């Protein structure tokens, strides 16, 4: 693994954790969407290896998180 890649992954994890800290006033469905998008972005970055993979993963993860937590 390249140094730049590991720094990018660390940044993604840090941003995801920081954004989840702001979820206190969110509904369960909003939290599910945000968590799904974060997990999807990390998965897309790992599998796709680029910006398009990250964005695609975030979109798919957000939709899945939204649908799974529907009331």
Helix (H) or strand (E) holding 15: helix 3-21
Whole-prediction pTM: 0.66
| List of residues 6+ apart from 7 with CB closer than 8 A | none
d(CA 43, CA 21): 20
Instruction: Please determine, for residue 1, whether its predicted confidence score (pLDDT) is greater than 50.
Output: no
Q: Mean pLDDT across the stretch 26-35?
A: 88
Domain that holds residue 22: 3-68
Q: Is 55 helix (H, G, I), strand (E, B) or coil?
A: helix
Task: Report the domain count for the chain.
Answer: 1
Tokens of 63: 């939709």
Phi-psi category of residue 49: left, alpha or beta, with phi > 0 → left and psi -120 to 50 → alpha: left
């Amino acid at each position: 693994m390249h140094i730049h890649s590991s720094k990018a992954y660390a940044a993604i994890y840090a941003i995801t954790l920081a954004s989840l800290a702001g979820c206190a006033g969110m509904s369960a469905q909003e939290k599910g969407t945000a968590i799904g998008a974060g997990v999807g972005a990390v998965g897309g970055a790992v599998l796709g290896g680029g910006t398009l993979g990250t964005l695609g993963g975030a979109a798919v993860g957000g939709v899945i998180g939204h649908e799974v937590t529907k009331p």
